[in-house]
């Protein structure tokens, strides 16, 4: 792969992983409620799930959506329902106690969530179909795409987590926590609109 193509992959990865998304809303909320350690585990789970999804897409899983469009609509429906349920969980969460250090979503759930996250599917299919090379270079280029997404996803995920850690300093009363949780739940629910438009 030449540097121009690597730069294009990196630019796409930054835009895809760094913009507001269900994953980033979960990371911000987790960091605000539970701190850095549990959120780092969640971030690792998310990125491992994303990497696995990309590898399966490289193996041809993404072609199922082309062959059977009903599968894409089903994923959108199930994914939207799950995101709305997550948004409700976030919006109705209580203020963290001094002893709360275990997040609602653990690392393996963050990994499995990628398979219900329509934005993750869109990123995986777009990245693999758009940036892999044909012939003998296919798997090398596919692995490069996965590694670049993993590295930049970890960086941008940390930025969203640090944003959540800084927010934690400003939330003191139960009412402030309630407003924050409702806002995060609303943003998470709003991400469903991006799936359908």
State the total domains in the chain.
1
pTM: 0.83
Rounded Cα gap, residues 128 and 9, in angstroms: 10
Mean pLDDT (the chain) is 87
CB-CB contact of 29 with 184 (8 Å): yes
pLDDT tens-digit readout, 35-62: 999 999 999 999 999 999 999 999 988 7
Domain span holding position 166: 3-196
Whole-angstrom CA distances from 114 to 37, 43, 81, 150, 168 are 21, 12, 14, 13, 26
């Amino acid at each position: 792969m030449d540097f121009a193509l690597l730069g294009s992959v990196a630019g796409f990865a930054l835009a895809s992983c760094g913009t507001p998304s269900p994953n980033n809303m979960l990371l911000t909320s987790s960091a605000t409620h539970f701190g850095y350690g549990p959120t780092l585990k969640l971030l690792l789970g998310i990125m491992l799930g994303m990497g696995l999804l990309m590898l399966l897409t490289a193996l041809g899983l993404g072609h199922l959506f082309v062959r059977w469009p009903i599968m894409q609509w089903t994923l959108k429906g199930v994914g939207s329902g799950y995101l709305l349920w997550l948004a409700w969980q976030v919006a109705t969460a209580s203020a963290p106690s001094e002893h709360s250090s275990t997040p609602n979503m653990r690392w393996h759930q963050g990994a499995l969530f990628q398979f219900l996250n329509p934005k993750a599917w869109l990123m995986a299919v777009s990245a693999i179909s758009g940036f892999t090379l044909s012939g003998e270079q296919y798997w090398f280029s596919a692995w490069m795409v996965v590694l670049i997404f993993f590295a930049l996803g970890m960086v941008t995920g940390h930025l969203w987590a640090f944003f959540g850690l800084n927010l934690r300093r400003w939330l003191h009363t139960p009412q402030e926590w309630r407003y924050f949780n409702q806002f995060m739940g609303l943003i998470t629910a709003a991400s469903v609109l991006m799936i359908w438009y």
